[in-house]
Structure 1
Amino acid sequence: MSPRQFCVFGNPIKQSRSPWIHQQFANQLGVEIEYEATLAPCDGFERNLKSFIADGGSGANVTAPFKEEAWRLCDQLSDIAKDSGAVNTIYISGDHLYGDNTDGFGLVADLHRQGATLTNANILLLGAGGAARGVIPALLKENPATLTIANRTASKANHLKAHFGDSQIQSCGFDELNDANFDLIINATSAGLSQQRPNVPSTIINQHTICYDMVYQATPTGFMQWCSQHGAALCIDGLGMLVGQAAKSFSIWFGKMPQIEPVIVELREMLSKGS
């Protein structure tokens, strides 16, 4: 019996560790898979997905900038995916596409792993794209005191607030954050991929603030460095979130949850060695 076929679609995608991560999960659970990273043109995701399905694909992960388009293409959505308006995991059954979003699971699991308290916390989410959309339902489920969505373009943050319609959610532009205080700041923009950071004031950080960048690199991201320089209590990258959301995706495809911690440890070691 030939291995089941999986892939991750994104643009860019060469930096993806998903093929390695899912192979570790497959090894843990004794299943055979082939998992590839696919660079889809920004206007060619649907075409690439259909080609993958035609070639017998069993499931796919979806990363930036295709999560919202994937949401529109799926025939059936999980409750979390419906709420978020973004899909990062597709289960393929014949021509039927089931869409889910495991980003929120990965983020919350990693925050708990790092000792962060989310209940009754004042949380700031930077960015209003697919990455932010995907984690909002999971963050709200933790019952924070407030969840503020801030974006360079305030109208996008306001639109996201209106989409969720939750009284805990506030929204604003980056330039409206001057006097606010937060227990947890999550960077859901793509700025970290290029060692940049969102243009937000340093006054949002105090000695009790935990700062989390949803991207990761071998060394601290630009956002993490900036937060550390301004006295954040703890700065965390998104490596644990990446492995956690992947594990949840794997469980959707195979019905079994793999172990997350050993893969985080090994991947961190690989990064430190430059491999």
Structure 2
Amino acid sequence: MDHYRVYGNPIEQSKSPTIHQAFAKQTQQEICYEKELVQLQQFSEVVSQFIKQGGKGANVTAPFKEQAYKLCDHLSERAQLSGAVNTLSFNNGAIFGDNTDGVGLVQDLLSNQVVLRNSRILLLGAGGAAKGVVSSLLAQKPDLLIIANRTQAKAQFIVDQYPEENIQSSLYNEVAKYHFDLIINATSAGLTGDSLPIPNQAITTNTVCYDMVYGKQLTPFLVHSKALGAKKVIDGLGMLVSQAAESFAIWRGIKPSTQEIMKQLRAELQ
């Protein structure tokens, strides 16, 4: 039986084992997929130990996506562009890195009837979660993608990877001068309960607000957005399931359907 892991810190909340076991059942694959808490300094050690034990692949969640990138011998184009890896495959002693977050996000937005082509998008944050989705968002041909962050230099660093595109950086407190069709939260504010430091005027009745984080209740960002009259609020559960389906396809060569597991997870959360 092939063994897979998801690594993170924290990891207790992870639904990845449930999702991948459901995919395996649906596609009649025999796999073992477990979650593992990794101490901050021990990521590369834990991965190399798993490879020695015959592990086939791993998903990587916060805060290890950039460390995972540095471990890889080979990178997909989308992983190279994002500088962050969430899917590791181990083959003949080599580590292959990919990033399925952007595909997962875009698939979830489209399945929620969010129009991305010719839209104006604000992406909040400039860490691994944000980096991982930029190339996939740009591939949808928005009019403008603005990456906002507390320190603009970090956002500008991402912008500089895409010289041809309609992409700019901004400080959080300066985004109100734009009009946005979609605002995506890629910061950890959804996990910590901190409110995002963007002006209320940035969110209007024409804005769809999306949080990459999900939980039993709406995240603080989505509660705040709803109170400001946002057109629609969406949490990150669909992104999680869609990016997992993409990882599963990389490992197993078959793309599972996501609808049933989405229903199951949503029911469990509620």
TM-score range, shorter chain: over 0.9
2-side partners of 1:197 and 1:163: how far apart? 29
2-side partners of 1:189 and 1:161: how far apart? 17
| Conserved 8 A contact 1:127-1:189 | yes
- Structure 2 residue aligned with 1:21: 19
- Structure 2 residue aligned with 1:183: 181
1-side partners of 2:194 and 2:21: how far apart? 31
What is the identity percentage for the equivalent residue pairs of Structure 1 and Structure 2? 49
1:141 to 134, 139, 142: 139
2-side partners of 1:235 and 1:153: how far apart? 26
Q: After TM superposition, which residue ranges in structure 1, 4 or more long, deviate above 6 angstroms?
A: none
CA displacement 1:189-221 (0-9 Å, x = unmatched): 011012223211111111110000001001100
Paired residue total: 270
1:242 to 237, 240, 253: 240
| Conserved 8 A contact 1:89-1:99 | yes
| Conserved 8 A contact 2:138-2:165 | no
Query: Which aligned pairs between 1:19-168 and structure 2 lie closer than 5 A?
Result: 19-168=17-166
The residue identity in structure 1 corresponding to 2:67 is: E
| Conserved 8 A contact 2:76-2:97 | yes
Deviation at 1:23, TM superposition (A): 0.4
| Conserved 8 A contact 1:180-1:203 | no
Give the superposed CA RMSD.
0.9
SS of the counterpart of 2:223?
helix
**Gap regions ≥5 residues in structure 1:** none
Higher deviation after alignment, 185-194 or 161-170: 161-170
The residue identity in structure 2 corresponding to 1:208 is: N
- Structure 2 residue aligned with 1:9: 7
2-side partners of 1:143 and 1:151: how far apart? 22
2-side partners of 1:39 and 1:164: how far apart? 34
The residue identity in structure 2 corresponding to 1:104 is: G
1-side partners of 2:72 and 2:37: how far apart? 20
Query: Which aligned pairs between 1:175-214 and structure 2 lie closer than 5 A?
Result: 175-214=173-212
1:224 to 222, 225, 239: 222
1-side partners of 2:218 and 2:77: how far apart? 34
CA displacement 1:98-122 (0-9 Å, x = unmatched): 1110001110000000000000000
Deviation at 1:159, TM superposition (A): 1.4
2-side partners of 1:200 and 1:52: how far apart? 42
Deviation at 1:167, TM superposition (A): 3.3
- Structure 1 residue aligned with 2:172: 174
The residue identity in structure 2 corresponding to 1:105 is: V
2-side partners of 1:18 and 1:234: how far apart? 26
2-side partners of 1:119 and 1:227: how far apart? 23
**Gap regions ≥5 residues in structure 2:** none
1-side partners of 2:97 and 2:163: how far apart? 22
What TM-score comes out, normalization by structure 2 length?
A: 0.98
SS of the counterpart of 1:148?
strand
| Conserved 8 A contact 1:126-1:188 | yes
The residue identity in structure 2 corresponding to 1:260 is: T
The residue identity in structure 1 corresponding to 2:39 is: P
What TM-score comes out, normalization by structure 1 length?
A: 0.96
Higher deviation after alignment, 121-130 or 29-38: 29-38
Higher deviation after alignment, 154-163 or 94-103: 154-163
SS of the counterpart of 2:123?
strand
